Amino acid sequence: MIKTQHKINLFIASLNLLVLGLYILNFDLPVGSNLYFLLVFFFLLSLISIFEIKFDNSIFRFFSSLQLPILSIIFLFFFLELIYLLKPNIFPQDLKIWINKDTKNKEVIEYLDRSPYIKFKPNVKVRIQFYRGNTNQFEYDWQTDSKGFKNLQYLSKLKEVDIVTLGDSFAEGMGVPIEETFSTILNDKGYTTYNLGVQGYSTSQMLGSFIEFGKNLNPKFVLTQYTFATYGREKFFKDKENISYTGGISYINSSQINPEIREQGKYLFSALWLMTKNLRMSIKNSIKYYSIDMKDKKFNKYKDIIKIEKVNSTPLDIESWNASLNAFKKINEISSTINAKMFLIYIPTRPMIYYERALGRKLPEKVLKESKMLKEFSIKNNFIFVDPTDDLINYVNSLPANFNVSELPYLEIDAHMNEVGYNILANKIKEFIEKNHISKN
């Protein structure tokens, strides 16, 4: 009887080794994924349990006892994989967005021989990389317009507009539908606005984008959006012969070149791993920041905002900082030649905005150094500086005790703004236009 049980255990362990080995050899996520190391761990457990018959002790018997549960999980996912192949529509969208069984990626990036060097192609479906929440918390897919930017289609047909928006992912509106970007909201408020924002852009790329696609639209206002501490991107554009792209578009570009590093799986189990990333992150953060006492318990999921206390936003890489400032100057100079007024829009991070409400104390002044420097620079160079930081903080502080997380101005998981935040920003921009008595006619 004992020999029969050993044979059964050996057979189960061997089967597990075969399946896990094939999974590891055909691993469908980036090798740096923790799932890869988890699979290797279970593979080694199965390998060790094969020696149970030779080393008959409690440790090897324990490893052997794990083989049947592992095999059961394997069979469960084989079954679900088969069901998915036959009836994919019965699975939730939050799981399906992480599955891509095609070994090739559709090309969505095009390259230019001068700044901004890289952008999205016209009329293509862009998919954002990495986990950023479920499909109710983040908009992963959107369609570019006929010029390759994130706008309502009819805007790309216009010969002139009131406003051109330059910037990175916050200008583009990462994570929200086209209808909820601050450019579209300004359009709804009566200012025809064309959005040239692209995720990951440096300030010099914003300048290049304006020259190539914006100035010929003869705008009255040029909104140049700058996100907290992103001046460092300039160092990647210093050597024109060896440019490295940054931010979101660089990840999409990399996955276009090499589908093996994309953040989607060919198998259901890999997709489930990606889909449940937030759960693992929440557990990790709850352990790491367990001792942090939040004054407002509604912000317990954002305990890591405590890290902002250590930030001094005074620029350290002076060469990159000056390159950013020079790009702003050039945008302003070009704007002046077409009788447009330049706005420099500063975007604060989520921790900066939630800090006071969550922890019950004022944000340290050193965090605001960068924005003050940009304000002084704007005054000196005669363009309008718009900083919605106080508006956003006051809004969050004014929310009732029983507020819903959807009322906050940033996306729930991802740290970009949502429609609430973009509405506050758009109102702030409109207020500055009206306060300075600037006519759009």
CA distance 267 to 204: 40
Does an H or E element contain 268, and which?
helix 268-275
The pLDDT of residue 57 is: 63
Q: Which two tokens stand for residue 32?
A: 């740096």
Residue 208 · residue 181 · CB < 8 Å: no
Confidence of residue 302 (pLDDT cuts 50, 70, 90): very high
* Whole-prediction pTM: 0.90
Q: Which single residue is written with the structure tokens 């997709």?
A: 271
CA distance 369 to 275: 38
CA distance 262 to 105: 9
Judged against a pLDDT cut of 90, whether residue 104 lies above it is answered with: no
CA distance 240 to 86: 50
Q: Average model confidence (pLDDT) for the chain?
A: 92
Q: What is the pLDDT of residues 241-300, one digit of tens each?
A: 889 899 999 999 888 877 667 788 999 999 999 999 888 888 888 788 888 899 999 999
The pLDDT of residue 112 is: 95
Q: Which single residue is written with the structure tokens 């020999």?
A: 3
Three-state secondary structure call for residue 385: strand
The pLDDT of residue 7 is: 77
Q: Which two tokens stand for residue 272?
A: 């489930």
CA distance 285 to 38: 20
Q: Which single residue is written with the structure tokens 């507020």?
A: 403
Does an H or E element contain 435, and which?
helix 419-435
Confidence of residue 9 (pLDDT cuts 50, 70, 90): confident
HSE at residue 407, side-chain half, CA atoms within 13 A, is 12
Judged against a pLDDT cut of 50, whether residue 441 lies above it is answered with: no
H helix intervals, 66-202: 67-86, 93-96, 169-172, 182-188
Judged against a pLDDT cut of 70, whether residue 169 lies above it is answered with: yes
